[in-house]
Structure 1
Amino acid sequence: MKFLMQGLSLALLGAGLAAVPGLQTAAVGETAPTAAPGTAQLRSAADGRVTITKDPATGRIAFVRVSRGGDLLPRLGGSSQAGAIAKADAFVTTNAAALGAGPGELVRSRVTTSPYGRTVVYTQQYHGVPVFGAMVKANLDGQGDLTSVNGYAAPDLDLAVTPAVPASTAASYAVANVKADPPGLRGRTADVSTVRATASKLLVYRTGSTKGVPGKAVLAWQVSVGNGAGVNESVLVDAATGKLVNRYTASEAADFATDRELYEKQSKPANLVWKDGDAFPGSLTTEQQNLMYDAGNTYWLFANTFDYDSFDGAGAKMVTVANLDDPDGTFCPNAQWTGTEINMCPGSEADDIVSHEWGHAYTQYTSGLVYQYQSGALNESYSDVWGETIDLINNREDGGEGNISAARPVGACSTSTRGEVGVKINAPASIAKECDAAAASFGPTIDKTGITGDVVRAKDVAESDGGTTNDGCSPYTNAAAVNGHIALAYERPGCDYGTQARNAQDAGATAIIVGSYDENVIPMSTQEQGITIPAVMIKRSDRATIASKLGSGPVNVTIRDIDPAQRTASTRWLVGEQGKVFGGALRDMWTPTCYGNAGKVSDAEYYCGTGDSGGVHLNSGVPNHAYALLVDGGTYNGVTVPGIGLDKAANLWWLTQLDHLTPTSDFADMADGLDAACATLTGQPIRQLSVKRVTPGAAAAPITTADCAAVKAVAAAVQLRKKPTQCNYKPLLKKGSPSVCGKQFTTKTVFKDGFRHGLQKWTKSKVLSTGKARSFPWKGTKNTPGKHRGRVVMSADPDAGTCARNDNVASSNAITSRAIRLPSGAAPRLSFQHYLATEAGYDGGNVKISVNGGKFKVVPNGAYAFNKPNSALLAADQGNSNPMAGQKAFNGTDGGTATGSWGTSIVNLAKAGAKPGDKVKIRFDMGRDCAAGLDGWYVDNVKVQVCKKKAGATVADRRRTSGRR
């Protein structure tokens, strides 16, 4: 994991919400309303203008709020706690279905109070089992008016809640998964030899909930797996099958006074070096003192400004481990909130880095933002926001910026950053282009002139370091050829970027270009000292373009700063610039593109893939930019945003986190939450920010309606409500389907199976790569993914196997129909509905046909009139151990997700070699390689039909049925 990638959902301080003592949880809506009111009824019941936002994945209400001075449920009154609870309960009961919950599923879990009113919080339970990420918050002002309700609930739940897989088995599967696929910094893996399951919890999990896409609900065990020293994973295991369904980096878990403890290496009693009450600084080093200052600054920011007592709101102990024991170097340099403490590697003790990690703790105990996709980007951004806010106001002499750093012009990079760099391919002309690039955080900076030279591919000792001849992780075998030129190396997990740069430098290279293993470029970091040549990363596709021409002549490139004029001598809004081991700042909140991060949703830098947990760091630039721009002001993306200052912005961000964000909130929810928070705070007393011990902030200027207009402007400027359409996500299978035969034809069905009785009409078979391999036979199931009802059949593609001969799943499973005679004089067609989600390239399914008892052959793509297989599986010589390697097949998932969706495929059997009068057998094959997978192939409604022309049908009509145009 890259820096600051560890905490999942932790907590922030804010508008002083204290849990109500002695509150008993209670289910609401036990009796289903006769009809769930639609939005028209909801609007008509309210007093004031109502704004409603729907969740695109579920179609249910995600956020509803009323204009200032209004009330969503004016028929109930009372400003008391009992009145607030009654009003919130009544609204949630009446509108449970519109919010996504079934009768009695929303359970009141707590009521919190603030100077501005109350928040009633509900979680979802299905037959007593909690639903992952489901939370609804009802917000009432000081007069008892219901001003907003928001959140997420999993709709249409219908599943058994008795686990077939015991907790102990799920825990062993989860630990095995983490050991087989260790987390870690990009380029190195964590030591997982001592990981263990620390907790298991049964819950209902809806796939796709963190991505904001449709999904299915499954009963799952949520298993926490960690080692207390850098590894802290949350693994969700299907409680019916034992299959992994999700995994993410996680942290599970007034009279104010700090309760801090500092440990060295590990948080063992013998390693305790200081605690509150001891003499300060005593024998502490400067670095240790700074860690305690930073914990104290974080504590007092929230206590003084928001009346919030430590990260849990109840005075929790703040434990810091300095100089984390990391003997094999798999975690450091990094920093982490583990769910109970923060771990700091040597040299990572910058104040904004330390406060960033404590920010994760506060997020965990408030919104609980899940560390994936946009909710994870918000989680990461909130930590940057609090870390940088503290850095701007603490006036520390240990590297803190204080409040003297000048604001920068919009779009300007800092002279302290690496800035936006580019790699321009100058020659040969056939591949000349500008390549996206990111400068390393180490080595010299790159200026406007840059470095121009011919590229030479790194060649080192093959396999001796577990790599290839081109990753540059060993001393070069072609040093003479590299000397005086620019080296090209390939990124490889387990190979440190500093090692790559050192080997290139020792070979005499003038610079090194590292080709990413995907289309994502990042600022590379290292602990390696003494690097004197520039290093940049480019995309895998650009690396391949350069490499393709190296054998036929020189490839000349220029590495340069592409925006040298836009620089300001200011460290304002830089994250981690004082972290010695990182070689410079890690992110720029003011101009995120200076570090290759998105500054608005439509930016080319917006990350669309599944790496980086769905872009939690790369896309955190969007909400980061929103905060910085709202504080300082400026015109961006054609929108002018008046600056409102730190005090107002921080109060708005905190109240949004506390009252309006839930575990699966996305950027649009953030925009709605900021609007609601601003309406709540308008004209109310707020405090200035303060990080001094027991020094509550003085009264700040109140928030005004003009400030709320600025909030709306900044959401538009960075496009919080815009979908990332540039990702161009498309489903694997096109929606809808043409008529099998057409209007001018009659259709006769000669074979059909909707699998209501399982596989009675089919014969099973399998192929194993070795006698030890496991296979996953086709089976009938009612547990269908997506919006598809009824019984289907499926063959699994589980995340299983290790490729060892005694533990691999390289196999294929087939179902074969009986012999089907095709009537004479008719055009034969095959159609079927299916859903597929597999490991792309390696695992997949296809249809084969046998004619008159002949050999089964893959139905060629040219025979498909609609929804043909998307690509060929990798061949055996490409490392694919699937028995179906190299065959055309349906494989992968819908674009941008780890799921699929249902579609219909139509085959012209005549083009597959079957003629009227022939006997055919249809076979569905699902194959997988030795390890790793996703879900499987689901099939339903298989039909073989024949098309006969009606009298008067034209040639054009006949062509339409064959798929020709």
Structure 2
Amino acid sequence: AHDFFNRYGNLFQMKNPTAELALINATDADGSHLRFQQMYKGIPVWGAQLLVHSQDGQLTAINGHYQPGIDLNPTPGLTAAQAETIARTHLGAAQATLLANVELVVMTYHTEPAALTWLVQLATNEPLGRWLYFIDAHTGGITYNFNNLPHVRNRQIYDANGACSTSSLPGSLVAIEATGGTLPAGPAKDAFDYSGAAYDYYLSQFGRDSYDGSGAPIITSVKFGTAGTCNSSAFNAFWNGAQMVFGSGGGSYNHFAKAEDVVVHEFTHAVTEYTAGLIYQFEQGALNESMSDIFGVFAQQRSTGDFNDWELGEDLNVVFRDMSDPTLYGQPAHMSNYNELGWVDDNGGVHTNSGIPNKAAYLMVTGGTSGEITATAVGLSKMEQIFYRALTNYLSPLSGFNDIKNSTIQACQDLIGSFGITFADCNQVQNAWAAVGLGSAALTASTKVYLPVLINGTGGATDAFIYEPNDDVSQAYGPLSSGVTYWAYLQTNGDVDIYHFTTSGGFIDISLSSLPSGTNYDLELYNNAGQLVGVSYNSGTTDDSISGTAPAGKYYIYISPTTTASSTTDSYQLAVTYP
């Protein structure tokens, strides 16, 4: 992987890839999935990770987040202890628990320009929180801070009883593995049964031994919180980085360990922390919530045999969310209705905007139509494997909705031939995302496009504007000449550009570059059978490329916008080389 970055690091604007990337994790026995942490002069760049994927020794994909152009003084002007004091003072919680050693990091997330900061992590009881503070290591100012505590609900209902302080957790021991089966009916028995169900689900479906993959003990506390004193505890459930905690409930609410989907939801937050590490704010936090919803529902469907149950929390005597129709409970089901909320409002809408990927997951499993796009059912057993692979191998701390779209498509391609997964399934995954406003529908033989193209071969003397309707794939522009650069543009968000070429077989290299400012285009390659055989989904205006050995035949290049499309005056450049 380092050899690739040393050769092509300029595509990411890297100056010294060996020094700027530190390997932090490798998965699969053959090391085919590598996770690199971006470093700046030996200091981690918070949230910036690149994931490198290979198969049979051949590089297949690179995704994640890399922040170029960092230029700052790496020597702090204040100590870690001083930074901790500043964070405690701002939080107003001198007795807050320090969760980890104060760490020096470069902060770029929601920060311009990049800043050298001390990361201080504090836990509080009221308000319930796991606070991340980024203190400027030169000025002592607060660069950024937010509550990174995942939880099921953020509302407060008053009528409950129980201990409040997180300092008392985990509490008094009532059962261990050998004795839990004899517990009487109640919160402790439900927590014992459903935490075991969560463990069994991940082990049986994915071979994962506990949330960390290494058999960690599952510590769970129940009957947490007292009404009128700590309402946010009584009507809540959360993973605090070390254990699961379930509120006492009260009134019309059952205790929060009563629902299997809620318990698996929290267990999945732990899995996410040990894999993708998704932060708990804005779009990343909404994706974090969605991953927990998805696996919570999947596990309960397998447990109960009710494969039409897409509700969350119904066993608490209240429904929080419905993945089949998120709008029933105030969530958007399409990117056109995405809620731009401030960080103080539900951490930027983590429980609101999660409805969008939730709806996509529902469409992938059951099939259905949203707007003008239809997805055919892929089925539960296949989608479990696809989402798990995406979560554990492709997502990183700052991944958002476009990333999970790209990751599930790539994970699906990885798994073709396993679990009954086919190329056609991957097309339906893509269609489901398109149905909620993320990307374009998969290319098929009946796809109709209108392709306005500005062609300027690098060896040509004259620019020619060609506005040609392309009613189906057979009318895609081409054949493209090997080694020639083509200038073209996308006029609207719904526009796609399709090209074709024919190779005698061998190494091919496709590059998409010079993307207009403010755009984000996807590059996809299909064979003549309409099967997706290659993708490049880099974020923003980063160049995309697809390369590798291809069998002889005809291929189609598909370029589509994932964000704002450019005008006819802002072109991109496409080049392909092939034998």
Deviation at 1:270, TM superposition (A): 6.2
Structure 2 residue matching 1:578: 3-state secondary structure: helix
1:632-652: CA deviations, max 9, x gaps? 111112111101111111111
Name 1:138's counterpart in structure 2.
52
Name 1:96's counterpart in structure 2.
9
**Aligned mate of 2:339, from 599, 603, 606:** 606
CA distance in 1, matches of 2:71, 2:279: 24
Deviation at 1:357, TM superposition (A): 0.9
- Say if 2:230 is the partner of 1:329: yes
Deviation at 1:280, TM superposition (A): 3.2
CA distance in 1, matches of 2:316, 2:324: 19
- Say if 2:147 is the partner of 1:249: yes
Structure 1 residue matching 2:36: 3-state secondary structure: strand
1:264·1:271 contact (CA, 8 Å) conserved in 2? no
Q: Map 1:540-555; keep pairs closer than 5 Å.
A: none
**One-letter code aligned to 1:171:** E
CA distance in 2, matches of 1:150, 1:159: 26
- Say if 2:256 is the partner of 1:348: yes
CA distance in 2, matches of 1:608, 1:222: 24
CA distance in 2, matches of 1:576, 1:270: 25
Deviation at 1:720, TM superposition (A): 2.2
CA distance in 2, matches of 1:194, 1:330: 20
**One-letter code aligned to 2:136:** D
**Aligned mate of 1:223, from 117, 120, 133:** 120
CA distance in 2, matches of 1:612, 1:314: 32
Name 2:292's counterpart in structure 1.
383
CA distance in 1, matches of 2:372, 2:171: 58
CA distance in 2, matches of 1:682, 1:159: 45
Name 2:64's counterpart in structure 1.
151
CA distance in 1, matches of 2:94, 2:305: 45
Q: Map 1:569-718; keep pairs closer than 5 Å.
A: 572-580=309-317, 584-603=318-337, 606-610=339-343, 611-684=345-418, 686=419, 702-718=420-436
- Say if 2:242 is the partner of 1:307: no
Structure 2 residue matching 1:132: 3-state secondary structure: strand
Task: Structure 2: state its 5+ residue gaps.
Answer: 151-161, 249-254, 441-516, 518-579
CA distance in 2, matches of 1:101, 1:152: 13
CA distance in 1, matches of 2:110, 2:322: 30
Larger radius of gyration: 1
Number of residue-to-residue matches in the alignment: 414
**Aligned mate of 1:276, from 149, 170, 177:** 177
CA distance in 2, matches of 1:714, 1:300: 29
Deviation at 1:227, TM superposition (A): 3.7
Structure 1 residue matching 2:32: 3-state secondary structure: strand
Q: TM-score, normalised by structure 1?
A: 0.41
Structure 2 residue matching 1:671: 3-state secondary structure: helix
Deviation at 1:679, TM superposition (A): 0.8
CA distance in 1, matches of 2:236, 2:260: 14
CA distance in 2, matches of 1:102, 1:275: 53
CA distance in 2, matches of 1:617, 1:202: 30
- Say if 2:278 is the partner of 1:369: yes
Name 2:495's counterpart in structure 1.
none
Name 2:135's counterpart in structure 1.
237
Identify if the C-alpha distance between structure 1 residues 592 and 164 changes in structure 2 by more than 3 Å, giving closer, same or farther.
same
Name 2:86's counterpart in structure 1.
173
Structure 2 residue matching 1:711: 3-state secondary structure: helix
1:228·1:338 contact (CA, 8 Å) conserved in 2? no
Name 1:719's counterpart in structure 2.
437
**Aligned mate of 2:217, from 310, 317, 320:** 317
**One-letter code aligned to 2:6:** T
1:237·1:246 contact (CA, 8 Å) conserved in 2? yes
Identify if the C-alpha distance between structure 1 residues 303 and 602 changes in structure 2 by more than 3 Å, giving closer, same or farther.
same
CA distance in 1, matches of 2:271, 2:436: 25
CA distance in 1, matches of 2:15, 2:328: 47
Deviation at 1:125, TM superposition (A): 1.3
1:592·1:625 contact (CA, 8 Å) conserved in 2? yes
Deviation at 1:228, TM superposition (A): 6.7
Name 2:37's counterpart in structure 1.
123
CA distance in 2, matches of 1:391, 1:720: 27
RMSD of the TM alignment (CA)? 2.4
Identify if the C-alpha distance between structure 1 residues 291 and 101 changes in structure 2 by more than 3 Å, giving closer, same or farther.
farther
2:129·2:149 contact (CA, 8 Å) conserved in 1? no
Structure 1 residue matching 2:356: 3-state secondary structure: helix
Deviation at 1:376, TM superposition (A): 1.2
CA distance in 2, matches of 1:204, 1:335: 32
CA distance in 1, matches of 2:414, 2:287: 21
**One-letter code aligned to 1:385:** I
2:386·2:412 contact (CA, 8 Å) conserved in 1? yes
1:279-319: CA deviations, max 9, x gaps? 23334433211111111111121111112111111111111
CA distance in 1, matches of 2:197, 2:7: 44
Name 1:202's counterpart in structure 2.
104
CA distance in 1, matches of 2:378, 2:207: 22
Structure 2 residue matching 1:323: 3-state secondary structure: strand
Name 2:488's counterpart in structure 1.
none
Structure 2 residue matching 1:318: 3-state secondary structure: coil
1:608-655: CA deviations, max 9, x gaps? 544322221111100011111110111112111101111111111111
**One-letter code aligned to 1:208:** H
2:170·2:219 contact (CA, 8 Å) conserved in 1? no
Structure 2 residue matching 1:273: 3-state secondary structure: coil
CA distance in 2, matches of 1:114, 1:706: 28
CA distance in 1, matches of 2:52, 2:217: 30
Structure 1 residue matching 2:305: 3-state secondary structure: coil
Deviation at 1:268, TM superposition (A): 5.1
Deviation at 1:387, TM superposition (A): 1.0
1:883-926: CA deviations, max 9, x gaps? xxxxxxxxxxxxxxxxxxxxxxxxxxxxxxxxxxxxxxxxxxxx
Q: Map 1:522-921; keep pairs closer than 5 Å.
A: 572-580=309-317, 584-603=318-337, 606-610=339-343, 611-684=345-418, 686=419, 702-721=420-439
Task: Structure 1: state its 5+ residue gaps.
Answer: 1-87, 180-191, 210-214, 253-262, 395-401, 407-571, 687-701, 723-786, 788-965
1:122·1:135 contact (CA, 8 Å) conserved in 2? yes
1:112·1:120 contact (CA, 8 Å) conserved in 2? yes
1:527-557: CA deviations, max 9, x gaps? xxxxxxxxxxxxxxxxxxxxxxxxxxxxxxx
Structure 1 residue matching 2:73: 3-state secondary structure: coil
Deviation at 1:110, TM superposition (A): 2.4
Identify if the C-alpha distance between structure 1 residues 281 and 642 changes in structure 2 by more than 3 Å, giving closer, same or farther.
same
Identify if the C-alpha distance between structure 1 residues 638 and 323 changes in structure 2 by more than 3 Å, giving closer, same or farther.
same
Name 1:359's counterpart in structure 2.
268
Identify if the C-alpha distance between structure 1 residues 339 and 647 changes in structure 2 by more than 3 Å, giving closer, same or farther.
same
Structure having the higher helix fraction is: 2
Structure 2 residue matching 1:240: 3-state secondary structure: coil
CA distance in 1, matches of 2:180, 2:71: 58
Identify if the C-alpha distance between structure 1 residues 100 and 286 changes in structure 2 by more than 3 Å, giving closer, same or farther.
farther
CA distance in 2, matches of 1:306, 1:175: 41
CA distance in 2, matches of 1:289, 1:312: 23
Off by >3 Å, runs of 4+ in structure 1: 227-230, 263-270, 605-610
Deviation at 1:337, TM superposition (A): 0.6
